[in-house]
Amino acid sequence: MNNAARFSDKMAIVTGAASGIGRATLLRLVGEGATVLASDINTSGLGESLELAKAAADHGGSATSCVVSVTDEAAVRRCVADFVAEYGKLDVLINMAGVLQSSHTTETSLADFMAIVEVNLGGTFLFCREALPHLLQTRGNIVNCASTSAYFGHPCMAAYSASKGGIAAMTHALAWEYIKRGVRVNAVAPGGIDTPLVQATPIGLPKDMDYSLLVHLTPINGYGKPENVASVVAMLASADGAHVNGEIIRIDAGVHS
């Protein structure tokens, strides 16, 4: 199959498209012919992504946008419904929206903990729920974003790790729930990827952080790029991933091998 046209005539939604892995995924899919709804709460970043998408567009690919908080249930419902109403169908959902906050667990309020879970896990759930009726019609697929933090110890990131572990578990549950109805559900688990979220993490770590606890998280051969993850996401979302379902693919250059 010609990768350049893998998504011709495919309609996709990418959340978290204003930066990082979400932006890279948007550009990858548009470059391979998809019509993509780029979703994010970051208006300026989303605008930049759309401009980049215009330059990357090939093989009939294009992008439109929806400024939405993934925690706003009514807005998420509208976002998905309006896109399908305009373009007629939905083939792919890519959930990349997420937030990260670091703090000592003993100093983390329940409100702060739940705020991370609501965005990362709750937002992924909402988009999955609203997209599934349409994906069932096209026998489409979902790619979620878990993290290596779901499986390995990331200190001072209890809320983030819990939310990503929840995404991994939900991915398995959805894959099995819809296995007889033609919808595949997979996830990627990035680690050590150079994104705005990761770049901001050292700033957000506690001032008395014991950095020796982070040694096992440091990529030996340098940080990966968002494009390294986007290429795997594109494979999973395309016909090339047709026999992959309920899988969580770790992308961390072997740091956690």
Average pLDDT, the chain: 92
Q: Which domains does the chain have, with CATH numbers?
A: 3-245 (3.40.50.720)
Nearest to 140 by CA among 236, 33, 229, 5: 236
Q: Work out the percent of the chain whose per-residue pLDDT is above 70.
A: 95
Average pLDDT over residues 180-201: 84
DSSP conformational letter for 65: E
Pairing status of strand 184-190 against strand 62-67: unpaired
The H or E element that residue 236 is part of is helix 226-237
Give this prediction's pTM: 0.93
pLDDT at 200: 55
Under 8 Å between Cβ of 101 and 160? yes
pLDDT at 194: 84
pLDDT at 1: 41
- Quickly list DSSP for 102-146: ---GGG--HHHHHHHHIIIIIHHHHHHHHHHHHHHHHT-EEEEE-
Under 8 Å between Cβ of 8 and 33? yes
Give catalytic residues, as residue numbers: 160
